[in-house]
């Protein structure tokens, strides 16, 4: 069995803005424009970049919440493009998500038991008693309690709601989880707790993560490899430590220079990305070039 669980090849997602009287598009936004990467089993692949760079769009394409414009996403050797909803159903169980907002992603009219059991019912997992026992066990694993089963989302803090979302994602025993900025809406004091919990759950259940985030220091902590996105394109991919210690692409250097440093002796000059990384939307994306084992960079965006 290949150790590559998710393989993304030349992924593109373009959004049409308006059409003329002939039905032809009057404008196209290339949100993702020729992205290549893979994720190994048991690995955490971090995806970073500024707002609007296409990170979340990539995640939604992997979940098949968006039908992508071109390219292919392969999961465990099976291409996902073009599959009907019926054919996708088995993959819906194996691929789960944790979203950014832990309140809007939970139905306020359902209690915790109903929220977490809903995907289990859809996939025909166990009877009511078995589902309740599994949910109670999952709540313990994410730091909640059995007596939370009959409470509603508004009765929890933001961090607790995100723990409920994590338990819901785990309920159907997935292999791969897309974590779409799962800590950005949480207090700083809670973020580290959630990230450490995700690491523990990964080891216990053998999970694979795509971890999308703005917090560069947190991404370094949890990720094995990191991809840097800019303007809908992947400009650099490397192992976590190597990327932070030896960034090659000018945009990566600019992004890392934005990290807030608390030690005045270590404060470096802020690099502004203006000018040297301007990407024209009509320019053909170039493939990443390997500059050292496992370190890939695209330099054609100057």
Closest CA to 79 of 2, 10, 175, 7: 7
| Mean pLDDT for all residues in the chain | 88
Position 274 confidence tier, pLDDT thresholds 50, 70, 90 = low
**Does 135 fall in a domain?**
no
Closest CA to 59 of 160, 163, 181: 181
E strand map for 169-287 = 176-180, 208-212, 225-230, 233-239
**Rounded Cα gap, residues 284 and 56, in angstroms:** 22
pTM higher than 0.85 for the full model? yes
How many other C-beta atoms are found inside a 10 Å radius of the C-beta of residue 40?
A: 15
pLDDT at 19: 81
**Does 119 fall in a domain?**
no
With vertex at residue 54, the alpha carbon angle to CA 53 and CA 55, rounded to the nearest 5 degrees, is 100
**Does 122 fall in a domain?**
no
Domain count across the chain: 1
What CATH number is given to the structural domain containing 49?
Answer: 3.40.50.300
Position 299 confidence tier, pLDDT thresholds 50, 70, 90 = confident
**Does 56 fall in a domain?**
yes
Per-residue pLDDT tens digits for 92-144: 999 999 998 888 889 999 999 999 999 999 999 999 999 999 999 999 999 99
**Does 77 fall in a domain?**
yes
pLDDT at 16: 86
**Rounded Cα gap, residues 41 and 39, in angstroms:** 7
Domain extent for 188: 4-104+174-297
**Does 155 fall in a domain?**
no
**Does 127 fall in a domain?**
no
**Does 92 fall in a domain?**
yes
């Amino acid at each position: 069995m290949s150790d590559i669980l998710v393989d993304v090849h030349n992924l593109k997602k373009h959004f049409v803005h308006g059409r003329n009287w002939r039905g032809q598009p009057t404008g196209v936004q290339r949100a993702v424009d020729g992205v290549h990467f893979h994720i190994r089993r048991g690995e955490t692949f971090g995806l970073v970049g500024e707002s609007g760079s296409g990170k979340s769009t990539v995640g939604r394409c992997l979940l098949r919440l968006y039908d992508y414009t071109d390219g292919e996403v392969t999961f465990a050797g099976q291409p996902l493009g073009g599959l009907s909803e019926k054919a996708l159903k088995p993959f819906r169980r194996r691929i789960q998500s944790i979203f950014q907002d832990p309140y809007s992603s939970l139905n306020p009219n359902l209690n915790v038991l109903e929220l977490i059991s809903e995907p289990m019912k859809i996939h025909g997992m166990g009877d009511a008693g078995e589902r309740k026992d599994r949910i109670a066990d999952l709540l313990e694993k994410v730091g909640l309690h059995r007596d939370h089963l009959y409470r509603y989302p508004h009765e929890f803090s933001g961090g607790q709601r995100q723990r409920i979302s994590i338990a819901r994602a785990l309920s159907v025993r997935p292999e791969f989880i897309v974590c779409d900025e799962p800590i950005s809406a949480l207090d700083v004091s809670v973020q580290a707790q959630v990230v450490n919990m995700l690491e523990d759950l990964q080891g216990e259940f053998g999970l694979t993560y795509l971890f999308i985030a703005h917090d560069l220091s947190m991404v370094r902590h949890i990720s094995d490899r990191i991809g840097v996105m800019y303007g809908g394109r992947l400009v650099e991919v490397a192992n976590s430590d190597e990327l932070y210690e030896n960034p090659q692409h000018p945009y990566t250097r600019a992004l890392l220079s934005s990290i807030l440093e608390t030690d005045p002796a270590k404060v470096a000059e802020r690099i502004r990305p203006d000018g040297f990384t301007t990407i024209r939307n009509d320019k053909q994306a170039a493939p990443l070039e390997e500059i050292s084992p496992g370190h890939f960079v695209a330099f054609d965006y100057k």
